[in-house]
A and B are shown apart, each in its own frame.
Chain A
Amino acid sequence: MANVVAINQYKLKRKRLEQTTVDQDRRVQNQKWIECLVKVAKTQDQSAFQSLFNHFGPKVKSFYVAHHLSPQIAEELVQETFISVWRYANYFESNKGQVSTWIYTIARNKKLDYFRKTNRQINTTELISDDIAVEPGEQYTTRIGEELTFFLPQLPDEQYEVIKKVYFEQLSHQKAADTLNITLGTVKGRIRSAVNNLNKLMRGGL
């Protein structure tokens, strides 16, 4: 058992080391956006806000269009997203992470809000693993006083990719298979394994 833990830790360290260079670039970029947000929050700096808008605005529009909204609605929701970025810039906690994640969560909530107001059903994709998530025994007991550990770096890359495509990009299983150049069966298998692994990782290690 101790060996398994040691191997997992080693794998994790190696993976983190490999990611260091990529992370370095992302950190520098992120730092720049954090500074912009701080300027918006503290001095209502319009040019810092415009930099954020010019960089993230088109991406947010792309996000809405990818989630099956018309370009007109996407444009409107970009406006609403950035009104919130302006108003709530002081909510961003720079120690907690990426500006892109913060903007993503606002954009996601604006989309849900739009769906609710227009009584539109959420596109939930074809989630074969739905039964896994809610079957008896799915609920688990958390370890009290558990230390905060990051579980995503421990997920095999191919499972991470499938999760990203199917849940976050909301691609159908077939489209995810085509994009990743694997079979439909492999996609389904990877989702199943990823969800199983995440359940174990969230409980405190594989």
Chain B
Amino acid sequence: MTASPAPRLSVGAIPYYWPKQQVDDFYAMVADSPADIVYLGETICAKRNQVRFEDWLDIAARLTAAGKEVVLSTLALLEAESELKRLRAICGQEDYLVEANDLGAVQLLRGKPFAVGHSVNVYNHRTLELLAADGCRRWVLPVELTRETLAAMQRQRPAGMETEVFAYGRLPLAYSARCFTARARDLPKDDCRDACLEDPDGMVVDTQDDNRFLALNGIQTQSARTMNLLPALDDLRALDVDILRVSPQSQYTGEVLALFHKVRAGELAPAAAGEALAALMPTGPCDGYWRGAAGMDALAVA
């Protein structure tokens, strides 16, 4: 197999709650896609149980057979002992790299190779050096940081550390003890009746003057707009970014991956892809964080 042109493409863990069949179909599509790396597992809510740990391992085996690098991802917000128990099972297996999304996971992974996701606050190179000393070999830029901050961190990144950037998807903005999807449906969290199954891309929150502002995804709040950094590919390459992450959406993720691949292969200009991608987004684009502005701003010239 020939190596993919840099940077590599990853598919982030599915942030939403989808029925098992949809999850299986999604990864069948990913297996045939140009993605190089696939992050698997539940990162938002431990109550989502359509796909169990053993099911994730089955999916992982199929993707590995299809030539993908598989990484098992973990919950961002760890509260209950039952959640720690599941975390220990993920961190204890030896077949796949694990993405820690909380320092509790880092604690369990110390001494072996691991990755940290965007919900671990890596805001400077000192932090990255400490994580590297514990075994971290890949990090994801926290989504609110800018191109300038990434540039400064890349100049001082530890040897052997891979840098991944969240390049496409609704932005992860916050996590809570409360379930906003259940709240919207007037259900208590402990009897939520899997309310978030009805919102395969989250539930959009409009301001009172009709600005599609946020998307509620259980205990997570996302941006309604989709971050898109593909137009910044030249900058990302100049900064030696190793991996671009595409966050799943319920439709068109295959098309999104294909467009990313065409651009990295030099078959399509980044600007042209920007327009094509905008048509695939549930609400429209943003890229303000990367450019040092408000996250919701859309500044790239399409």
A binds B: no
Residues in chain B within 8 A of chain A (CB atoms): none
